[in-house]
Structures are given as C-alpha cells and as structure tokens.
Structure 1
C-alpha cells in the first residue's frame, strides 16, 4: 500500500474549506477513514460515500471496498 501524501493533503485541504477534517488510519490492506464536521460544515457538501471511497482508493493505495468510511451523519 502506497499513500500519495500530496493528493491526500490536497483532499484534506478541499474538505477543510467546507469545515471538515479527514482522519486516516491505515492497517495492512485496510483504511479506516473518518470525516469529522466542524461547526460550520455544510452537510450537503459531502459526496455520497461510494464516490468518496472511489476518490480515496488511489490516494490511499487500497481497493475502495477496503475503506471503512465514517461520515458525520453516521453518529458517534
């Protein structure tokens, strides 16, 4: 698994512009990704989860199905 740090940073900056934080934990061939909303986050600004997984897969170097993705609306 090879992470494209430059693309990951760009994705983080893009989400940050809408008041989201992107947390990534890698373990083996899996990625645990959590998107956390700030107080000014726009709920409608996030793409559907399957699309986000497709976007993250090449950046994280894993298969989209190997990404466990948590959105703010999933509850904590």
Structure 2
C-alpha cells in the first residue's frame, strides 16, 4: 500500500473549496474515507460512492472495493 500524499492533499483541497472535509483511516489493505460537509456545502451533491472509491483508490494505494466511504448524507441508493 503506497499513499500518493501530494495527490491526496490536492484532492482534499479540491473538496475543501466546496466546504467538504476528507479524513482517511488506513488499515491492512483497506481504508475508511469519511467526508463531512461544512455549512456552505451541499450535503447531497457528492458523486456516487462507487465513483468516489475509484478516485480515491490510486491516491490511497488501496483497491477500490476495499475502501469504505461515509458521506454526510446517503442519497445514492447504489453503492
């Protein structure tokens, strides 16, 4: 597992521009990504979780199917 810290920081800054905040917990070949919405964010405006997993996978060095994504509001029925 190899984290691309520079790209992860850039991804965080992009989310923060829309008042989202990303935290990541890494485990053995897995990860938990939590995205919280600040007061200026649209809590329902994030991409579907599967797409978010695909974006995070190369940044975290973890297979997309091993990333558990938590959103402020779960509006997407398909994961």
Q: TM-score of the superposition, structure 2-length normalised?
A: 0.89
Alignment of 1:32-51 (within 5 A): 32-51=32-51
Any idea what SS the aligned residue of 2:51 has? helix
CA deviation vs aligned residue, 1:35-59 (integer Å, no higher than 9, x gap): 0010110235311111110000000
- Show CA shifts across 1:21-46 (max 9, x none): 00000011010100001011023531
Does the C-alpha gap of structure 1 residues 17 and 37 become closer, same or farther in structure 2, counting only changes over 3 Å? same
2: CA distance between counterparts of 1:48 and 1:20?
15
In structure 2, the gaps of 5 or more residues are: 75-79
TM-score where L is the length of structure 1: 0.92
- RMSD of equivalent CA atoms: 1.0
Residue 55 in structure 1 maps to residue 55 in structure 2: yes
Aligned residues of 1:18 and 1:45 also touching (Cα < 8 A): no
- Matched length: 74
Q: Considering fraction of residues, name the structure with more helix.
A: 1
Inter-partner Cα distance in structure 1 for 2:62 and 2:32? 11
